Amino acid sequence: MKVLVTGFTGKVGYEVAQKLMDKNIPLVCAVRNPEKAKAEFGNAYEFVKLDFSNPDTFDEALGQVDRIFLMYPPGDNLQFASFLEKARRHGIQHISYLSLKDVQFMPFIHHYKMEKLIKKSAIPYTFVRAGYFMQNLNDFMCKEIKERRRIFVPAGKGKTSFVDTRDLAEVLAEALMHPAKHRNTSYIITGREALNFYEVAEIMTDILNIDIEYANPSVKEFKEFMKKMNVDDNFINVVIGIHFPTKLGLAKGIKHDYQKVTSKEPTDIRVYIDDFKSSWI
Ligand SMILES: NC(=O)c1ccc[n+]([C@@H]2O[C@H](COP(=O)([O-])OP(=O)(O)OC[C@H]3O[C@@H](n4cnc5c(N)ncnc54)[C@H](OP(=O)(O)O)[C@@H]3O)[C@@H](O)[C@H]2O)c1
């Protein structure tokens, strides 16, 4: 058994690799630039080049593995139909796919199409339909929190089902280690409570001992400020899109699949903020 971990340098892939390594499962980390990854992460990992927009990289990445943690990255011209066809020909036995909560109601988004493509490939799968990542706070929101002490996303007063990417990784890795048990199953993985960003700002203020506020910008204010900061238009639209269901009050659903799969409680956002404290100070 050997697992190909895609998106290794990202928020979820890295954690999937840690969970597999903790259990001594052989893995190879897929990255677009293996030299850069080696310099950054050292010799503890094996790397292979994989670029979903370049089918010439697919055979080598799929050559020595029989299971895949699969994520859908940002970017254009991604060749997933071809990747999955090659995966089938290479005899891949299981795919753990990082999908999105409520995907079944959103036929226009790529995760909906990806789930269909994976099913069509006839490769056994587990879909992990994820809630809103806690780690967004130390990723694309980090700069504003650190520099201007504010959470700056256009999410209104809506609540969302924050989940720790380490919990997602646990379920994704569990499915790769015990594929028969999780074969052709979808799990909805959220945290234990839905929160709005005013509540998150209050918890951060408490734990970090620094005043953090939620700015609650309108979409227009968000767009104007981000443009002034020279943020790429595509990225601005992605961030607006991610927070739109929250603003409409549609993102607050909590599910208990994490408890079912792991027999544990999901990570509390207070634990996450404490663990990642140094990101914002
Ligand atoms: N953020 C959320 O709240 C949320 C919630 C539910 C689901 N999701 C889903 O989670 C996924 C993102 O996962 P993440 O946050 O862990 O990723 P991430 O932190 O945004 O990192 C993106 C990863 O994709 C890799 N990548 C970029 N372009 C690539 C390409 N052409 N070929 C191969 N790899 C490429 C990057 O690797 P290099 O640049 O190093 O090559 C990097 O490892 C998305 O599909 C998103 O819809 C997100």
Model pLDDT for residues 234-263, shown as the tens digit of each residue:
999 999 999 999 999 999 999 999 999 999
Taking the C-alpha atoms of residue 60 and residue 58, their distance in angstroms, rounded to an integer, is 6
Q: Is residue 178 one of the residues assigned to a domain?
A: yes
Q: Is residue 248 one of the residues assigned to a domain?
A: no
Q: What is the mean pLDDT of residues 164-178?
A: 98
**Residue 66, pLDDT score:** 98
Mention every residue, 6+ apart, whose C-beta is less than 8 A from residue 66. 1, 2, 91, 92, 93, 94
- The rounded Å distance from CA 169 to ligand 1 centre is 13
Model pLDDT for residues 202-237, shown as the tens digit of each residue:
999 999 999 999 999 999 999 999 999 999 999 999
Q: Is residue 209 one of the residues assigned to a domain?
A: no
Model pLDDT for residues 27-67, shown as the tens digit of each residue:
999 999 999 999 999 989 999 999 999 999 999 999 999 99
Is residue 47 within 6 Å of ligand 1 at its C-beta? no
Structure letter (DSSP) for residue 9: T
Q: Is residue 15 one of the residues assigned to a domain?
A: yes
3-class DSSP state of 21: helix
- The rounded Å distance from CA 71 to ligand 1 centre is 6
| Strands 125-130 and 185-189, bridge-based pairing | parallel
The tokens describing 44, both together, are 């503890």
CATH code at position 128: 3.40.50.720
Is residue 164 within 6 Å of ligand 1 at its C-beta? no
Q: 89 pLDDT band (50/70/90 cuts)?
A: very high
Q: Is residue 213 one of the residues assigned to a domain?
A: no
Q: What is the mean pLDDT of residues 11-15?
A: 98
Q: Is residue 272 one of the residues assigned to a domain?
A: no
**Residue 199, pLDDT score:** 98
Q: 162 pLDDT band (50/70/90 cuts)?
A: very high
- The residue behind tokens 């036929």 is 107
Atom number, ligand 1, closest to the C-alpha of residue 37: 40
Best residue among 4, 5, 11, 19 to mutate for probing ligand 1, ranked by most atoms within 8 Å of CB: 11
Enclosing domain of residue 95: 3-134+162-192+253-267
Is residue 189 within 6 Å of ligand 1 at its C-beta? no
**Residue 186, pLDDT score:** 98
Q: Is residue 95 one of the residues assigned to a domain?
A: yes
Model pLDDT for residues 97-156, shown as the tens digit of each residue:
999 999 999 999 999 999 999 999 999 999 999 999 999 999 999 999 999 999 999 999
CA torsion 57→176→90→28, rounded to 10°?
A: 40
pTM of full prediction above 0.85: yes
**Residue 135, pLDDT score:** 98
Q: Is residue 247 one of the residues assigned to a domain?
A: no
**Residue 139, pLDDT score:** 98
**Residue 192, pLDDT score:** 96
Is residue 79 within 6 Å of ligand 1 at its C-beta? no
**Residue 20, pLDDT score:** 98
**Residue 272, pLDDT score:** 98
Q: Mind spelling out the 3-state secondary structure of 139-189?
A: CCCHHHHHHHCEECCCCCCCCECCECHHHHHHHHHHHHHCCCCCCCEEEEE
Is residue 5 within 6 Å of ligand 1 at its C-beta? no
Atom number, ligand 1, closest to the C-alpha of residue 9: 43
Domain count for the chain, please give it.
Answer: 1
